[in-house]
Amino acid sequence: MNSLTHSYTTKMHGLYVITHAENPAGYTHYQLAKMALKGGAQFIQLRDKKMEARELMKIGIEIRQLCEHYGARLIINDRIDLAYATDAHGVHLGQQDLPISVARNILGEQKIIGGSASTIKEAQALEAGGADYIGFGHIYNSTTKQKSYAPRGIETLRQVVREVSLPVFAIGGITMEDAGEVAKTGVAGLAVSSAVYSVSEPIDAAIKLASLFGDTKPPVPGF
């Protein structure tokens, strides 16, 4: 049984932005998160494969506080231990990470647990395993994260949305030009990185992407 009835997971849709420290402008994770949240992002995924755990924990706590100020949620990539240590709203697990059931035992029913899938079979397995949402892709060729398999494309994405009852977030190579077409497949949201951070006006880019899912936010004072 997943936790979609709980407070953190009652609204699983919208813009899902993944921080990436190796970005062209040299933004920090915190700066990236803040710009995305100002633009209406509903989820921030903190992802860093190189940073030491203690430093990443400190940053995670700061971004969680920022997310709560903006009414959004922090998801930690891969690391169940850091999700626990930062009291993040959830964790996102890849196919080679620990199982959903292990994460649930550690983090509890109140936390969001998502998983990556690149086939319909993997998506169905995540649903059966108790995930709260699915990140499906890559949809197009991605410069952020290289994959060993071909892009899945729009038609496969539509199939996955039909075959599973969980919220599906499309990920991989999605640009501003492609975003509208992807949104029309029935996905719960778009998971992006460079579409926001590799442009001259990241906040404006986030606003446009968030608006595809009806999310418009008035300016939030502070932070």
Q: Per this entry, what is the length of the chain? A: 223
Q: What is the largest CA-CA distance in the chain?
A: 45
d(CA 92, CA 112): 8
Using CA atoms, how far residue 15 sits from 7, 189, 191, 205, in Å, is 19, 6, 6, 11
d(CA 96, CA 154): 25
Active site residues: 47, 116, 145
| Beta-strand relationship, 168-171 and 133-137 | parallel
